[in-house]
């Protein structure tokens, strides 16, 4: 999948994590974003990180770090927009920094299910995971207009693009989110 850039979304405020930069919170001895990187990197041609804080720490990974072009942490869509405007591949696969157990075939399965759609996202156990999405760069202007209109919901944007879902019911544990400190103690193996 050399035509796909992996983008790790680590640009949030971390409010549910007590204001900590979630991507840098340790999980099984290493930062959360590194777990996502280990799972995502073999599936794509290149990877970058969307981060609005601690850029120097993320840059130590050797990966490009992209910051939001919009102020005040407007959410994951702002990170998606910044990435779509900067990457040099036609497609981006977005992955939240708080999903350390991503499937090893995430990109391949999303690619297979997209057909003619310009966006496709993961769905597992009856739940959508819109920040785990494969998105074409041609959607950047539409996303910019969506954000300029005050909209912030990833799911609504993806649905408005005519996007579709890819079913991952066979691996629901792969979509566990680490949102709170107590989630770090669940005993889930990475």
pLDDT by residue (tens digit) across 75-94? Answer: 899 999 999 999 999 999 99
What CATH superfamily classification does 4-185 receive?
Answer: Spore Coat Polysaccharide Biosynthesis Protein SpsA; Chain A (3.90.550.10)
Tens-digit pLDDT profile for residues 137-170: 999 999 999 999 999 999 999 999 999 999 999 9
Q: What is the pLDDT of residue 190?
A: 43
Q: What secondary structure does DSSP assign to 30-51, as a single string?
A: EEHHHHHHHHHGGGSSEEEEE-
Please tell me which residue, 189 or 70, carries the higher pLDDT value. 70
More confident residue, 12 or 25: 25
Cα dist from 162 to 26, 85, 87, 157, whole Å? 37, 20, 22, 9
CA distance 74 to 103: 28
| Phi, psi (degrees; rounded to nearest 5) at 79 | -65, -40
Q: From CA 117, how far away is CA 126, in angstroms rounded?
A: 21
- Residues 112-116 have a mean pLDDT of 95
Residue pLDDT, tens place only, 36-45: 999 999 999 9
Residue range 173-182: mean pLDDT, rounded: 72
The pLDDT of residue 189: 47
- Whether pTM exceeds 0.75: yes
- pLDDT: which is higher, 73 or 14: 73
Beta pairing partners, 123 = 128, 167
* pLDDT value at residue 20: 75
């Amino acid at each position: 999948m050399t035509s796909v850039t992996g983008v790790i979304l680590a640009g949030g405020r971390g409010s549910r994590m007590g204001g900590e930069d979630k991507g840098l919170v340790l999980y099984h001895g290493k930062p959360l974003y590194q777990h996502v990187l280990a799972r995502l990197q073999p599936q794509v041609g290149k990877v970058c990180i969307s981060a609005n804080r601690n850029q120097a720490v993320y840059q130590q990974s050797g990966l490009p770090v992209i910051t939001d072009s919009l102020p005040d942490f407007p959410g994951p869509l702002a990170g998606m927009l910044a990435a779509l405007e900067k990457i040099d591949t036609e497609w981006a696969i977005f992955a939240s920094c708080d999903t350390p157990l991503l499937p090893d075939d995430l990109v391949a399965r999303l690619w297979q299910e997209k057909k003619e759609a310009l966006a496709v996202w993961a769905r597992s156990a009856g739940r959508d995971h819109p920040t785990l999405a494969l998105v074409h760069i041609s959607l950047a202007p539409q996303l910019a207009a969506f954000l300029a209109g005050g909209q912030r919901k990833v799911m609504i944007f993806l649905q408005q693009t005519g996007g579709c879902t890819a079913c991952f019911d066979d691996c629901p544990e792969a979509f566990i989110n680490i949102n709170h400190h107590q989630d770090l103690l669940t005993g889930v193996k990475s």
